[in-house]
Amino acid sequence: MTKTALDELREVKQIDLRSVFTTDPDRLSRYVLTQGPIRFDWSKTHLSETVMDGFVDLAEERNVAGWRDAMFAGDAVNVSEGRAAEHGAERGEGAADSVARARMLHGRMRALVDAIEAEALGPVRHILHIGIGGSALGPDLLIDALGGSGALYDVAVVSNVDGVALERAMDRFDPGATIIVVASKTFTTTETLLNAASAVNWLVEGGVDDPFGRIVALTADPDRAMEWGVDETRILPFSESVGGRYSLWSSVGFAAALALGWDDFETMLEGAAAMDRHFRLAPPRANAPMIAAFVDQYYARVRQCQTRAVFAYDERLRLLPAYLQQLEMESNGKGVTRDGVPVEGPTAPITWGGVGTDAQHAVFQLLHQGTILSPVEFIASVEPGHALDPAHHRALLTSCFAQGAALLRGRDNADDPARAYPGNRPSTTILLDDVTPESLGALIAFYEHRTFVNAVLMEVNPFDQFGVELGKEIARSIAEEGPKGFDPSTMALIERAFGGM
Ligand code: F6P
């Protein structure tokens, strides 16, 4: 059997991180890359020159540059659905006609932002954004990270079909001063439509005479939104070729544009566009998303690590791990290649994580001494997000850097193995200048492209998500036809919860 590129990478002798900077004093200068507001440091990983070269060869073999250019050209890189993947066009980087259309749709979005600001829809203090998955995680992240106490409106993002989520938001808001934003690419998602219907009832019960006058829809299927009752003038469409988990740049970011102001939303797009250009133009050894994907591939597929941990050492980025879970796992949690044959070896690891320093006091024990190896990513900002005593930020950053150092260095203890740390554990660090619209746009685009490169290296399609359909179908059939033909466990659960339905 011929050896694959991965087999060859699996045979490369592993370096020991504990001595890596002694044996290679120049390593830091070669394993840190600064791109705009982002500094990416992968020096504390097991990637060596041989491994890097191996991945550069693999990227060539798998035609990463070709797929990247095809994506930006608007070709149907989502092969299973015959669609383009044009989130780049939303930032001005893509096929000319797609960029022009995105600009035109952003123009409509901006006009509605201005109209709401001018109270053309009545007085507005609250924005209730309803959506789920890619139609919620992105705007939620942007508003939480950049809005803070300076947000122009009080925004709630409600996703869960559990009425508790919606009820809590409604309890905080005055129906007479609320705009309801319904975000759904397909405008068919059960959770979103049920929450939206309950929100309309709440407006009616709250004495709003024309409830649909206060509803804005963000969708790639305007006809469905209209059928549902939304007025055409308050539908902000986006292109079918923008995937749900890549859609925060489109009208799906409407609540963020309202809460942060249009200028910040636009700056966020520009930050992403700068990362797009870097990804398009930089050679592999100087290309941040490509190198980050090499690191990911090394741990997931060469070292077979089943998880990848992401810790935001910045309260403003506390929603980033959840955002990345969808981006990475829904994109690359696949079993077959674009051609439908089983992928050789594992695909996307489980992305998990949290916020530092909290996570240190909860889950880091396993990372330091547990038997499972998980690469860790730290994300931090040089500038603090508050005006309190600088001691807070110093303590935060010191803790972050100390964790990476401890994972790397470890500590022997011949007398008491329970107090020994093996070390030689990898981490990457992303240090931002600050958390700003520009840096957050660049950071999210960096992760999008990194996810894409991972997909191309594995030959999977990152732009479909058929794996989520079966559960939805079964739930629909239970709702429509009652419980029939399921396994005894499922039947008993249904019986216990609903009786005879
Ligand atoms: O079920 C998964 C999914 O299709 C995601 O990919 C998507 O982001 C989410 O549901 C919401 O879909 P929609 O925007 O169509 O409501």
Report CA(322)–ligand 1 centroid distance (Å). 15
- Do 248 and 273 lie in one domain? The reply is no
Determine contact, residues 319/145, Cβ cutoff 8 Å. Answer: yes
* Structural domain for 479, as ranges: 467-498
Q: Position 52: which residue type?
A: M
Report CA(136)–ligand 1 centroid distance (Å). 9
The predicted model gives 13-38 an average pLDDT of 96
What is the per-residue pLDDT for 485?
84
Position 467 pLDDT exceeds 80: yes
Determine contact, residues 54/5, Cβ cutoff 8 Å. Answer: yes
The region of weakest confidence among 132-146, 282-296, 467-481 is: 467-481
Residue with CA nearest ligand 1 atom 2: 468
What is the per-residue pLDDT for 484?
82
- Do 206 and 292 lie in one domain? The reply is no
- The rounded mean pLDDT for the chain is 96
pLDDT digits (tens, 9 = 90+) for 356-367: 999 999 999 999
Residue with CA nearest ligand 1 atom 9: 133
Instruction: Give how far Cα 99 sits from Cα of 66, 92, 129, Å.
Output: 20, 5, 26
472 is catalytic: yes
Given 195, 230, 260, which residue is the final one in a domain? Answer: 260
Position 500 pLDDT exceeds 70: no
Report CA(324)–ligand 1 centroid distance (Å). 15
Pick from 369, 357, 365, 363: nearest CA to 423: 369
361 is catalytic: yes
Residue 25 lies in a domain: no
DSSP 54: H
Position 2 pLDDT exceeds 80: no
pLDDT digits (tens, 9 = 90+) for 194-216: 999 999 999 999 999 999 999 99
Residue 199 sits in a domain whose CATH number is 3.40.50.10490
- Do 100 and 126 lie in one domain? The reply is yes
What is the per-residue pLDDT for 1?
61
The residue whose CB lies within 8 Å of the most ligand 1 atoms, and thus the one to mutate among 87, 129, 135, is 135
What is the per-residue pLDDT for 199?
98
The predicted model gives 246-251 an average pLDDT of 98
Question: Which of residues 66 and 477 earns the better pLDDT score?
Answer: 66
Predicted structure pTM score: 0.97
What DSSP string describes 125-188?
A: -EEEEE--GGGTHHHHHHHHHHTGGG-SSEEEEE--SSHHHHHHHHHHS-GGGEEEEEE-SSS-
- Do 284 and 244 lie in one domain? The reply is no
Residue with CA nearest ligand 1 atom 1: 468
Q: Can you give the three-state secondary structure of 97-108, one letter per residue?
A: HHHHHHHHHHHH
The predicted model gives 446-461 an average pLDDT of 98
**168 phi/psi in degrees, rounded to 5:** -60, -40
What is the per-residue pLDDT for 494?
87
- Do 48 and 131 lie in one domain? The reply is no
Joined together, the tokens standing for residue 304 give 């077979």
What is the per-residue pLDDT for 501?
60
pLDDT digits (tens, 9 = 90+) for 291-345: 999 999 999 999 999 999 999 999 999 999 999 999 999 999 999 999 999 998 9
Joined together, the tokens standing for residue 141 give 């992240």
Share of the chain above pLDDT 70, in %: 99
Q: Could you tell me if the ipTM is greater than 0.90?
A: yes
Strands (E), 192-306: 215-219, 235-237
Joined together, the tokens standing for residue 486 give 């399921």
Specify the number of domains making up the chain: 3
Region class of 63: left (phi > 0), else alpha (psi between -120 and 50), else beta:
left
Residue 10 lies in a domain: no
